[in-house]
Amino acid sequence: MKYLFALLIFLATAISSLAQEQPAPVESIDGIIAELLDQITIEKGKKMDTAAIRNLFHPTAIFTVADSANAESVSLNEFLTLLTDPYYEEGYTEKEIHKVVDEFNGIAQVFQSFYGKDSEGVEEKGINSYQLTYYGGRWWIVSILWTMESDGAKIPSKYGGE
């Protein structure tokens, strides 16, 4: 019995140590952005974990898609509702191509070029512009502004374009 108790203590210590060695995604800029891409990339037939996605954002986060002709913004709740659309249950992939991070005194601006592919095989590239803030021991995404590449507006080479 003594050995079993010692083994249980050893296992508990080892598991605790492993958990401490792996930082939470929200503890770094790279981590929180990678976690967002992981969460919104979804296999056919799966549902997005909107609670996990919500945890990455400041409660008042704003989401804006824009181009040279228009800009449209939604709240965090509206964005999460859009992600539950059956369109995403058919599968969606978004991957980082390149990113540029500027950070100062608890705020950060990230320009990230990305590749996306939907369930119909439509492939697109674009740029996400993230604004983040650091407080309470973690990063929060405050807003995302994004635009899509087009024939008339190619992603510049400084952001990983061709």
| pLDDT tens-digit readout, 104-154 | 999 999 999 999 999 889 999 999 999 999 999 999 999 999 999 999 999
Please return the burial class of 27, using the count of CB atoms within 10 Å of its CB with bins 0-12, 13-18 and 19+: middle
What CATH topology corresponds to 45-159? Answer: Nuclear Transport Factor 2; Chain: A, (3.10.450)
2: three-class secondary structure by DSSP:
helix
Q: What are the tens digits of pLDDT across the range 20-67?
A: 566 799 999 999 999 999 999 999 888 889 999 999 999 999 999 999
Domains of the chain: which residue ranges? 45-159
DSSP per-residue string spanning 120-140: T--EEEEEEEEEEEEETTEEE
